[in-house]
Structure 1
Amino acid sequence: MAITEIAEYAHLHDDDITAIADAFDEIRSDIEASLGARDRAYIKRAITFQRCLEIAGRLTILRSRSRTGWALGTATLVAAKCIENMELAHNIGHGQWDWMNDPEIHSNTWEWDMAGPSSQWRYSHNYRHHVFTNVIGVDDDLGYGVLRVSRDQEWKLDYLFAPLRAALLAVAFEWGIALHDLYAEQEHQQTEEGKAELKRAMLHKMARQVAKDYAFFPALSGRRWLRTFWANLIANMIRNAWAYIVIVCGHFADGAEKFTAQALENETKPEWYLRQLLGTANFNAGPVMAFMSGNLCYQIEHHLFPDLPSNRYPEIAVRVRAVLAEYDLPYTTGPLYRQFWHTVRTICKLSLPDRFLRATSDDAPETASELRFRAEKAHPRVFGPRASGAPRTGLSTATKELAAQRTWRRRALRRLAAARTAPAPAATAS
């Protein structure tokens, strides 16, 4: 089962959760108070750089006659599209730069270079996903309706094709997200005309994207139109795959926990903070990869502060790490290749019926709950004030203790099995 009692799972007292929230509120206040010319210059430089990169890529594809020139132009276009999608459109769409009151760089006016309308994405992503992160049956982004990423999702026969679906979703991510966002927004429309209007808006945006990348720009190349067509198609597919990898690593990797709908009942802001901490994961990245990923290598920080400018996430991360260390909570991160391998393993493993799975539904890498600690009676949550000078012990310590108990048990069983199979000592002659 997914997590229902979040505080129990984290092994924290209610006062600790409140103190964590106060620390995060202080981080928010400090960052908001310091926003100014440096941040404004950053986003304007990023936009200018991205646009110059796209122009350079398209001109190189248009004018080059060699395969090397075509490959260089295509790679440049890939980089431009990744930056536009991740660092610009995604973050601008979150309202991270609305404080500037710039009509061009505003969440309500920026239209991204993707198949679906930005307005439909904002509802599905900013509200449904960020408010209800990783809540089974509420967060529509949890598996996108086609992938099984938690054992709480009832197995169906068509999940056998989940690995193939994941591969197809990666290369066609913009089209899958467009349909996903449409269905999410249609759910709260009261009239059929309202639903039809949303569909028309999506089809109009799709037609515009197809015309731009697969008709207009290839036409500019004249007889070499096919080279430009393939360059645009490949650039879009790689951009889609990169966006898919970044997003799934932040939500489906081991340590990004899932929650039941009951966890939302009477949820307070401090509890919401805690759920965001437990439900997301980072990956290690240098400055270039961070920029190319829209700074979503800091997925934990992004979910805590989705509307704070992305260029501030590195400094926010330092303070978040310090808070988690103080309260003995894990800061889930790792190399990108390992985080992505976790998601691939989860999707492939959960494509099978539960009877083929070894770990229990409460203690698997991709699905854990507070019951994993109850079953083992490991590190029970202690209520009441902590003794003066006593160290805090939270989820990190509890997880280590549980692993140590199981290691000891496995070794004991191996020793017992070896003793049973050892040959009896030979009898000595009298």
Structure 2
Amino acid sequence: MNKPVSFNVKSQSNYLSTEQIEELGTKIEAIRREIMDSLNEKDAQYIYKIRDFVRYSEIASRGMLMFAGWLPPVWLVGTGLLGISKIVENMELGHNVMHGQFDWLNDPSLNGANYDWDTMATGDDWKYTHNYIHHTYTNIIGMDHDVGYGLLRVSEAQTWEPRFLLNIPLAAQLMLFFEWYVGLQNLHIEDVIIYKTKTWREVWNDAGKFRMKMKRQVLKDYVFFPLIAGPNAIPVFTGNVVANVIRSLWASAVIFNGHFTEDTENFEMDNTDNETRAEWYLRQIRGSSNFSGTEWLHILSGNLSHQIEHHLFPDMPANRYAEAAPKIKALCAEYGIHYNEASFMKQFASVWVRLAKNSLPNDWKTELKNQVGSTKQRLQSKVLSWF
């Protein structure tokens, strides 16, 4: 289902009328309003608990690495805990706070405009590429840079290039260095290396904020903490490296599962100026996918396990997505819309199937399919002739 579709009123859905789409939008908005009007102290306590977990888990993990990191079991526990701390800080704290989900608390430390997370991407760059570009033009080819990140081919609508034969290894290394790719995303490095529409000087001039953030992150994790660890500098250094890789692998897997599964749809650039809010809602549902799991899986994913609900309600506190999900799922059933949900591993497997399919040219895949079908028919005919 990864062929793009236009998202204007007529082609947004082949089965819903304009009136039905607007009716759906009204019902989705009612769900949003009901939950947003019920935000209370429990939601405040939730995010404060998350923030406390991040703080104390980082202190504990760095303490283990600095004072006893030379012991393999301690190094493993300390590194793993630091990786989890970084994951929760990025996914459930930073990502959601920078969406403005907790601005209503009037707490400067949890204000979306002020918060800057522990990763290579600057808050300003990320909020532009993600909060604005991605959430406005979700899955629209040529407008949403998250469709492949300028590196992968995830839709037949993307022009095939020979480099996409390496879709699988390119995706693997994107996962490994995801923190760096997200930090560099707003610079569009592919325009320099591949398309030659930008110069390195332009990239350098545009990268001022990123260079400062990168310097801060590198000095913190790879210079400051190893230096103050003294004789345990090497365990601390390697622990930080591995913890950051753990975070990158997990964060990218969560993002892939929410956007690149086989049943998520992509869209063409068409009628963006005239798209109604209801049509935008419908596009979010069709262009997203959820995965099921335990409470901790939801927390570690920043509740992006409910990616459909996040795309519908990006400013809603993510801990409330579990409440919205069954209501959205029921609406989808009512209107005959596919609600893309499966286990984490099933969604993750489908991502790699999609990447493999899109690594090949469209016409080559069609020809191969025809040849396979023809061969199958010949074999069936031959078998029948034996009887």
When normalised by structure 1's length, the TM-score is 0.80
Which residue does the alignment assign to 2:31? 27
Report the alpha carbon displacement of residue 179 of structure 1 after superposing the two structures with TM.
Answer: 1.0
- Structure 1 193/314 Cα, relative in aligned 2: closer, same or farther at 3 Å? same
- Structure 1 281/295 Cα, relative in aligned 2: closer, same or farther at 3 Å? same
Which residue does the alignment assign to 1:106? 111
8 Å contact 1:104–1:110 — kept in the other structure? yes
Which of the residues 88, 104, 114 maps onto 1:83? 88
Report the alpha carbon displacement of residue 29 of structure 1 after superposing the two structures with TM.
Answer: 1.1
Worse-superposed segment, 223-232 or 58-67: 58-67
> Unpaired runs of 5+ in structure 1?
187-191, 362-409, 425-430
- Structure 1 251/71 Cα, relative in aligned 2: closer, same or farther at 3 Å? same
Q: Percent identity?
A: 38
8 Å contact 2:7–2:283 — kept in the other structure? no
8 Å contact 1:3–1:263 — kept in the other structure? no
Which residue does the alignment assign to 1:341? 349
Which residue does the alignment assign to 1:220? 228
Q: Hey, what's the Cα distance between the residues in 1 that align with 2:245 and 2:15?
A: 43
| Amino acid aligned to 1:18 | E
1:161 has 2:169 as partner? no
8 Å contact 2:103–2:111 — kept in the other structure? yes
CA distances 1:245-300 after superposition (whole Å, capped 9, x unpaired): 00011011011100000153521111111000100001112100000000000000
What are the residue-to-residue correspondences of 1:43-58 with 2, within 5 Å?
43-58=47-62
| Amino acid aligned to 1:82 | I
Which of the residues 318, 331, 341 maps onto 1:323? 331
When normalised by structure 2's length, the TM-score is 0.89
Q: Hey, what's the Cα distance between the residues in 2 that align with 1:303 and 1:28?
A: 12
Which residue does the alignment assign to 2:124? 119
CA distances 1:285-326 after superposition (whole Å, capped 9, x unpaired): 210000000000000000000000001000011211111111
Q: Hey, what's the Cα distance between the residues in 1 that align with 2:237 and 2:344?
A: 31
Which residue does the alignment assign to 2:40? 36
Moved over 2 A (4+): 5-10, 181-184, 192-198, 352-356, 358-361, 413-424
Which residue does the alignment assign to 1:422? 385
Which residue does the alignment assign to 2:283? 275
Which of the residues 155, 164, 177 maps onto 1:150? 155
Report the alpha carbon displacement of residue 348 of structure 1 after superposing the two structures with TM.
Answer: 2.4
Which residue does the alignment assign to 1:177? 182
8 Å contact 1:10–1:329 — kept in the other structure? no
Report the alpha carbon displacement of residue 359 of structure 1 after superposing the two structures with TM.
Answer: 8.6
Q: Hey, what's the Cα distance between the residues in 1 that align with 2:65 and 2:82?
A: 9
Which residue does the alignment assign to 1:306? 314
**DSSP-derived class of the 2:109 partner:** coil
- Structure 1 5/141 Cα, relative in aligned 2: closer, same or farther at 3 Å? closer
8 Å contact 2:67–2:232 — kept in the other structure? no
| Amino acid aligned to 1:315 | E
Report the alpha carbon displacement of residue 37 of structure 1 after superposing the two structures with TM.
Answer: 1.2
- Structure 1 41/324 Cα, relative in aligned 2: closer, same or farther at 3 Å? same
| Amino acid aligned to 1:329 | I
| Cα-Cα RMSD | 2.6
1:254 has 2:262 as partner? yes
Q: Hey, what's the Cα distance between the residues in 1 that align with 2:114 and 2:130?
A: 17
Which of the residues 2, 7, 15 maps onto 1:11? 15
> Unpaired runs of 5+ in structure 2?
192-199
8 Å contact 2:262–2:353 — kept in the other structure? no
Q: Which has the larger radius of gyration?
A: 1
1:202 has 2:210 as partner? yes
8 Å contact 2:101–2:317 — kept in the other structure? yes
Worse-superposed segment, 29-38 or 307-316: 29-38
